[in-house]
Chains A and B, each alone.
Chain A
Amino acid sequence: MQADGVIGKYAIGGAVGAIYYLEPSATLDVDIFISLKTPSDSSLVTLSPIYDYLISHGCKVEKEYIVIEGWPVQFLPVGDALDEEALAQAVETEVEGVRTWVMSAEHLVAIALRTGRAKDFTRILQFVESGVIDPNKLDQILERSGLLAKWEQFGDKYLKETE
Chain B
Amino acid sequence: MNTRMRQILESKSAMRRRLGSLPFSEKLALLEKLRHRNRVFAYASLLKEYHQLTSNSIPGQEVGDLRARMEDLARHLTPKEVDFLNGLSIDLSTLGGTEVYEPDGKDQWTPQRIRETLKRAWSANDREAILKVLRKGPLLSAAQTAFLRAQSYEALGLPDIALLFMEYAAKKDPETSSYKILTMRLLEQTGRLDEAGRRAEAYLSEEGNDLNLRIFAAHILYDFAKTQRVEALPIYRRLATILEQSLSKYSKIKPNFQSMAVLGYMILANCYAALGKNAEEVQAYESGLEMEPQNSLVLAALGLTYADSDPSRARTYFMKAVERNTIAVSPYLYLAHHALKSADYRGCFELCEKLKNIANQARLKEVEATAWHWGAIAGFELGVNPESVRMAFEMALGLDPFDESIVYNFNLFKQLQQSLQPAAVVSGTRRLDWETNRVFDSKGARDELLENATPNLPV
CB distance from A66 to the nearest CB of B (A): 14
With a cutoff of 8 Å between Cβ atoms, the chain B residues found around residue A20 in the complex are 24, 27
- Contact, CB under 8 Å: A95 / B20: no
User: Within B1-57, which residues are at the interface with A (CB < 8 Å)?
Assistant: 15-17, 19-20, 24-25, 27-28, 30-32, 34-35, 38
- Contact, CB under 8 Å: B28 / A16: yes
With a cutoff of 8 Å between Cβ atoms, the chain B residues found around residue A95 in the complex are 24-25, 28
- Contact, CB under 8 Å: B25 / A24: no
CB distance from B9 to the nearest CB of A (A): 14
Q: Is A130 an interface residue (CB 8 A)?
A: yes
**Complexed CA–CA distance, A20 and B31 (Å):** 11
With a cutoff of 8 Å between Cβ atoms, the chain A residues found around residue B15 in the complex are 23
**Complexed CA–CA distance, A95 and B24 (Å):** 7
CB distance from B31 to the nearest CB of A (A): 4
**Complexed CA–CA distance, A52 and B332 (Å):** 66
Q: Is A121 an interface residue (CB 8 A)?
A: no
**Per-residue contact bits, chain A 27-43, to B (CB 8 Å; 1 contact, 0 not):** 11000000000000000
**Complexed CA–CA distance, A25 and B28 (Å):** 10
Q: Is A142 an interface residue (CB 8 A)?
A: no
**Complexed CA–CA distance, A28 and B35 (Å):** 7
With a cutoff of 8 Å between Cβ atoms, the chain A residues found around residue B25 in the complex are 94-96
Q: Is A19 an interface residue (CB 8 A)?
A: yes
- Contact, CB under 8 Å: B31 / A21: no
- Contact, CB under 8 Å: A23 / B20: yes
**Per-residue contact bits, chain A 1-23, to B (CB 8 Å; 1 contact, 0 not):** 00000000000000010011111
User: Within A124-145, which residues are at the interface with B (CB < 8 Å)?
Assistant: 130
Q: Is A93 an interface residue (CB 8 A)?
A: yes
- Contact, CB under 8 Å: A21 / B34: no
Counting contact residues on chain A (CB < 8 A from B), the size range is: 10 to 19
By CB atoms of chain A within 10 A, which of B24, B28, B32 has the most? Answer: B24
- Contact, CB under 8 Å: B24 / A93: yes
With a cutoff of 8 Å between Cβ atoms, the chain A residues found around residue B31 in the complex are 16, 19, 24, 27
CB distance from A46 to the nearest CB of B (A): 27
**Complexed CA–CA distance, A50 and B230 (Å):** 64
CB distance from B392 to the nearest CB of A (A): 24
- Contact, CB under 8 Å: A24 / B24: no
A28's nearest neighbour on chain B, judged by CB, is B35
CB distance from A106 to the nearest CB of B (A): 17
**Per-residue contact bits, chain A 46-86, to B (CB 8 Å; 1 contact, 0 not):** 00000000000000000000000011000000000000000
**Complexed CA–CA distance, A38 and B317 (Å):** 80
- Contact, CB under 8 Å: B35 / A19: no
**Complexed CA–CA distance, A25 and B31 (Å):** 7
**Complexed CA–CA distance, A21 and B16 (Å):** 11
B19's nearest neighbour on chain A, judged by CB, is A23
With a cutoff of 8 Å between Cβ atoms, the chain A residues found around residue B19 in the complex are 23-24
A91's nearest neighbour on chain B, judged by CB, is B24
Q: Is A87 an interface residue (CB 8 A)?
A: no
Q: Is A103 an interface residue (CB 8 A)?
A: no
**Per-residue contact bits, chain B 253-273, to A (CB 8 Å; 1 contact, 0 not):** 000000000000000000000
A67's nearest neighbour on chain B, judged by CB, is B76
With a cutoff of 8 Å between Cβ atoms, the chain B residues found around residue A22 in the complex are 20
B37's nearest neighbour on chain A, judged by CB, is A26
**Complexed CA–CA distance, A25 and B19 (Å):** 10
**Complexed CA–CA distance, A28 and B24 (Å):** 17
CB distance from B450 to the nearest CB of A (A): 31
CB distance from A16 to the nearest CB of B (A): 7
**Complexed CA–CA distance, A23 and B31 (Å):** 9
Q: Is A102 an interface residue (CB 8 A)?
A: yes
**Complexed CA–CA distance, A46 and B207 (Å):** 76
- Contact, CB under 8 Å: A26 / B34: yes
Binding site for A on B (CB under 8 A): 15-17, 19-20, 24-25, 27-28, 30-32, 34-35, 38
Binding site for B on A (CB under 8 A): 16, 19-28, 70-71, 93-96, 102, 130
Told that A23-B15, A70-B32 touch, could you supply 12 new A-B pairs with CB distance under 8 A?
A: A19-B24, A19-B27, A20-B24, A23-B19, A24-B34, A26-B35, A26-B38, A27-B31, A28-B35, A71-B32, A95-B28, A96-B25
9 contacts between A and B (CB under 8 A): A19-B27, A20-B27, A24-B19, A24-B30, A24-B34, A26-B35, A93-B24, A94-B24, A102-B24
In order of increasing CB-CB distance, the 4 nearest A-B pairs are A23-B19, A24-B31, A23-B20, A23-B16
